[in-house]
A and B are shown apart, each in its own frame.
Chain A
Amino acid sequence: MTEQKYKFLSTPRRPVEDRRFVAGRGKFIADLDRPNMLHVAPLASHYAAAVINGIDASAALAMPGVVDVITGAELAAAVQPLMNGLNTPNVRRFPLAVDRVRYAGEWVCAVVAESRALAEDALEKIIVDATPQPFILDAEAALLDTSAPVHPEHGSNLLLDRKFVWGPVDDDFDAAAHSLSFSVTWGRNSTVPIETFGVLAEWNGWDQMLDIWASIQMPKYADQIARSLDLPGNAIRVHYDVDVGGSYGVKRGIKHSVLVGYIARKLGCSVRLIEDRLENMRAGDAHGPERKFDITIAFDQDGTVRSMKMRALDNAGAYAGRAPFQLGKPISAIVGPYQINSVAYHALSVTTNKTVQEAVRGFGQAPTNYAIETAMDRVAEYLGMDRLALRQKNLIRKDQFPYLIPSGSYYDSGDYHAVVDKVLTAADYPAMLAERDRLRDAGMMAGIGIAACLEPSGGNSSFEPLLNQSNQTSTWMESCQVNIDALGKVTARIHTTSSGQGHETLVSTVLGEVMQIDPELIRITRPNSLESLPGNSPVGSRMAIMLGGAAARAGEKLKAKIMAIAAHRLGVAIDELRYEGGDVLANDGRRLAWDEMVELAHRQYHNLPDGMDPGLASFDIMQVPTGDALPVDDKVQMYPCYSFEFHLLLVSFDPIIGRPDIHSYFIGHDCGTVINPAIVSGMTYGGIAHGIGAALFEEFAYDTNGQLLTQSFLDYLMPSSHEVPAIQIVKHCTPSPHTVFGQKGSGESGYLGAPAAVSGAINDAVSGLGIHFEKLPIRMSAISDAIAAKTS
């Protein structure tokens, strides 16, 4: 038996957080109560577009229990527009509509009352005088000169129009034997947390302090609130010690927080706003990418893919939001796991009269992976080549790492072929093929789905300077503080909320590993923002790398101090000492116990090395590995680590009913060194479930009047446990050279490839009929209708 490399890392340990969640003892925004707390309900626009002529709130204000009605005009005069990260000064956005509404569901004004129910009663009494305007829903139509701009002051619907050429695209196309073109569309969907967004704000005029509790997953949240409210940064105190009931990108809440922050300050009280499901789905931060891809791909007869031209047109909705940048992240893995020599990328983001698009798990990577994987299937189909063999031919080889892709990022490490082989073995691929054929013989439609893709992780947001030159961001640090108290117990502080990622488990495991202390004995706390060091919250699959990294480094600093104390005490050089389970051993056999060193540090200054500060505390503010430089020539190293996943599944359906049944689902997953296996597997299972939703069920669909059709779980269908099959995870570990333990990100795993794989399986099932499904989600009705059209 080989000796285990780690004591706590990579071992099956129960996540710390599970205990309180399973027992129902989490502390969420809805669990908080403050004296005399007021409640807010926003009034939603019926129109997809309208000019607001006036708002008469007198009847509402006259109702008992109603305290105030805030309009967009009042708010716009008092707060700064919300940041959007682009240079589009005339695409201004406030928490409430100002002069114009731009999507159905947009907040027109907000009632403040003694209860949420009273506030909703009052909403019904508000009379909005509005004149409907022409509106636009389709992104291609929004591009046309003849279409009315959603923001007339901006002059057009274009938010972003950037063309990149990386490598000799024209030469590669000229040299290639074949090329083919196709289009696919990724439907608007989300991650749909169980808990909708909620925020509680309280203004204390004597302290000049705005206290905020919010269910956020949002980088630089406090800064953005302070900027919008024109308050000094240290007048906003965000309390991170709340639980967040799910997010994956959609718990941003800036507009909600600016609104309640303004109200709290205006009225000198505490105010809470918790979205109901309708508000969450039509006007929260729920909507993710809606993207059309036009792809031309150049390849040789032997299946070598040489080059790709990709136009990605994203429907951002009514304001800039985060949508344009979600076209930026995929640049860091624009060739997927393949050796594609050159790429032309045209990224377009347009405004339409739909709900604003915000960040969703993978930040645009899953749609792009779907496009790339569809391209691989199409090339195989064109050449009459096996889809698997085509991928194996083009996958980057193990000996090519670090591998520089045309758009400027080095992939850190991987062994893609090994992962694929492991999955094929685990799934008994020949048996799977035989089962597919048996199902086909029995009159079913059956298909196998294959997808390989990457999860860029731990980056520094450098898509922002790439897409907006005035942005000079070159760090996306994370931090951790560690203190050993006078009784010898370890407490670490983290500076963010968690929405299910298990940061307490992460940090206690990592610190336990470094300090060789049982993680169960390490306490993790979350101070408020004013007591925190800089950090960027859990976005971009970064916390294992960045928070894990900062925790490990803070732990190493403490260990170094302990060693120095021991060396001084024992009168030997540090390199004659060994750290073991918290104690220090000298080569001559003498031992200093943990408690003795704690005693020295906390009480016996006279026994510390000269000039050493007393106590045992450390902190670390960690810079993103590999992420120091700004873009040059449209290229940049965007992420330090690239996790790999390979999906393989078998689907069948009745040709008339068209309801896909997933028989078996295998995923090979390599995210480097795993810190907590249960958390990584949980991410992957959930990600695949989410991906099945994106492929088959979930869509924020609009009718021709611009009304959102899927405003509740009656119509926004997420897969349930019945639709998600048993999933076999096949693990592989290629450590990253850039991180403390070789870990990579896994927060988006599963989701990044599942939609492509499920789509591929369904397309394989109908391939004999010459059908291509080119839009997600692929509804059962569309499947059956397409087959009927071919066979009747």
Chain B
Amino acid sequence: MKPVRFDYKRPATIDEACGLLASDDNARILAGGQSLIPMLSMRLSRPSLLIDIAHIPELTAFGETETHIEIGAMVRQAVAQKSEFVKTHIPLLAKALGYVGHPPTRARGTVGGSVAHADPSAEIALVAATLGAEITYRVDGADEIFDASDFFIGPMLTIAPPTGCLTRLSFVKAPAVCGTGFHEVAPRKSDYALASAAAQINFAAGSGVTSIHLGIGSVGDFPERLDVDQLCGTPLDDSAIADAVHAAMQMVETVEDLHATAAYRKRVATELAIRALRDARGEISKDLNQ
């Protein structure tokens, strides 16, 4: 369990990092190292150059616009979890972050690293896909932006450009009234989940429920957004939620491994999606019933 010999560089700017990426087609970015270092040790990843982006100030910043919250790729999961920005404006992410690994791994692991790594059970990726976050990569000096809803295409597989550096995630600010729910199931607390579900119901006074976001993770090759638009305009009662989830789950293909059968993943993802939606509904029940 010793990595293959590699060079190590620690750039100070994003463009310097991109230059290094372009200089060696077997280069790899090192963020928090919580996924990459074990892969290096097992020689599953064999880069010739490691580019440590931990010392690029722009990557550790939060940003705010009228409509969006931006999280720098190098923001540690633990920092995001404690951030008031995140709690206020991306409550679904705030809920999910507590499920990402353990306090020590969150202290080093980054928000961007989790998205770039694209583990099918990554909670941050699930929230990003569910909410349709924007993922920004710097490639050849220019920014390229991807919609998280169709960014993930397989286990550890995305449509990101191979020589790009993920710089930030951008989430639409949640409306003043919104309900969220997050559930996951793992054999042990904080293990990679066997099934996970994220839900957000947006509400506007006067117009009622404006949109419903639902996503499931850990059951297939990547986190998936489920279409439950049919629920908008319904009273969101238990049976409507269950019907919508069952309908949406019909097309979902689930995987099987030592820890869970495909049938288990499907059954449990369905249940968790229902619970996540119910939790979200519960959070705005006062507004819904007005």
Contact check: which of A696, A714, A723, A781 meets B189 at CB < 8 Å? Answer: A723
- Provide the bound-state CA to CA distance between A784 and B43, in Å: 36
Residue of B whose beta carbon sits closest to that of A719? B188
- Provide the bound-state CA to CA distance between A720 and B103, in Å: 14
A667-697 contacts to B, CB under 8 A, are 696-697
**Residues of B close to A121: CB separation below 8 A:** 4-5
Interface string of B178-205 (1 = CB under 8 A from A): 0000000101111110100000000000
- Tell me whether A701 and B258 are in contact (CB under 8 A): yes
- Tell me whether B268 and A657 are in contact (CB under 8 A): yes
Asked whether any CB of chain A lies closer than 8 Å to the CB of B261, the reply is yes
Contact check: which of A277, A717, A784 meets B188 at CB < 8 Å? Answer: A717
- Tell me whether B268 and A717 are in contact (CB under 8 A): no
Cβ of A393 to closest chain B Cβ, rounded Å: 37
Count CB-based A-B contacts (< 8 Å): 65
Given A779-B260, A781-B260, A781-B264, A277:B189 Cβ within 8 A:
no
A639-658 contacts to B, CB under 8 A, are 656-658
- Tell me whether A784 and B268 are in contact (CB under 8 A): yes
- Tell me whether A785 and B1 are in contact (CB under 8 A): no
- Provide the bound-state CA to CA distance between A513 and B283, in Å: 64
B254-290 contacts to A, CB under 8 A, are 258-261, 263-264, 267-268, 271
- Tell me whether A779 and B268 are in contact (CB under 8 A): no
B1-48 contacts to A, CB under 8 A, are 1-5, 42-43
Cβ of A46 to closest chain B Cβ, rounded Å: 14
Contact check: which of B1, B5, B258, B264 meets A784 at CB < 8 Å? Answer: B264
Given A709-B258, A784-B268, A785-B261, A717:B187 Cβ within 8 A:
yes
- Provide the bound-state CA to CA distance between A278 and B271, in Å: 36
Per DSSP, chain A at the interface is: loop
- Chain A interfacial residues counted at CB < 8 A: 30
Interface centre among B1, B3, B261 (most CB of A within 10 A): B1
- Tell me whether B267 and A722 are in contact (CB under 8 A): no
Residue of B whose beta carbon sits closest to that of A709? B258
- Provide the bound-state CA to CA distance between A357 and B192, in Å: 29
Cβ of B28 to closest chain A Cβ, rounded Å: 18
- Tell me whether A697 and B188 are in contact (CB under 8 A): yes
**Residues of A close to B3: CB separation below 8 A:** 117
A703-744 contacts to B, CB under 8 A, are 709-710, 712, 714-715, 717, 719-720, 722-723
- Tell me whether B189 and A720 are in contact (CB under 8 A): yes
Asked whether any CB of chain B lies closer than 8 Å to the CB of A775, the reply is no
Cβ of B5 to closest chain A Cβ, rounded Å: 7
- Tell me whether B189 and A120 are in contact (CB under 8 A): no
**Residues of A close to B5: CB separation below 8 A:** 117, 121
A272-324 contacts to B, CB under 8 A, are 276-278
Asked whether any CB of chain B lies closer than 8 Å to the CB of A32, the reply is no
Contact check: which of B187, B188, B190, B267 meets A788 at CB < 8 Å? Answer: B267
- Provide the bound-state CA to CA distance between A333 and B40, in Å: 48
- Tell me whether A788 and B1 are in contact (CB under 8 A): no
- Tell me whether B185 and A659 are in contact (CB under 8 A): yes
Contact check: which of A278, A656, A779 meets B267 at CB < 8 Å? Answer: A656
Residue of A whose beta carbon sits closest to that of B271? A656
Other contacts beyond A656-B268, A710-B258, A722-B188: 10, CB < 8 A: A121-B4, A277-B1, A656-B271, A696-B187, A712-B42, A717-B187, A719-B188, A720-B189, A723-B189, A785-B263
- Taking Cβ atoms with an 8 Å cutoff, the residues of B that contact A are 1-5, 42-43, 185, 187-192, 194, 258-261, 263-264, 267-268, 271
13 contacts between A and B (CB under 8 A): A278-B42, A656-B268, A697-B187, A717-B259, A720-B188, A723-B188, A723-B189, A780-B260, A781-B260, A784-B268, A785-B261, A785-B264, A788-B267
Question: Top 3 nearest A-B pairs by Cβ distance?
Answer: A722-B189, A781-B260, A117-B2
